[in-house]
Amino acid sequence: MFWLAPVGAICCFLIYVSGIFPPGMNDLALTEARVVTTTDPLTSRAMPTGRGPFLRITVSSSRNLVAMAQNSQLNTYPMVVDCTDRDLTFYSWGPYHGGLHTAGSMDDRLNPRFATLRAERADRFDYQIFVPMTGRLLSEADVNRPMPAYVLARDPRTLCVRLGGGNMMGGFFRSNELRVPVPPQ
Question: pLDDT digits over 52-101, tens only?
Answer: 788 999 999 998 888 888 888 888 899 999 999 999 999 888 888 877 77
Mean residue pLDDT of the chain comes to: 80
> Who's near 43: CB < 8 A, 6+ residues apart?
36, 37, 52, 54, 56, 130
Q: What is the pLDDT of residues 125-141, one digit of tens each?
A: 999 999 999 999 999 89
Q: Which helix (H) or strand (E) holds 182?
A: strand 178-182
Residue 131 φ/ψ, nearest 5 degrees: -120, 125
Q: Which pLDDT value is given to residue 11?
A: 46
Type of residue at 21: F
Q: Specify the pLDDT at position 61.
A: 93
Helices (H), the chain: 4-20, 41-46, 65-71, 106-110, 112-119
Q: Which residues contact 132 (CB under 8 A, 6 or more apart)?
A: 51, 52, 54, 55, 90, 91
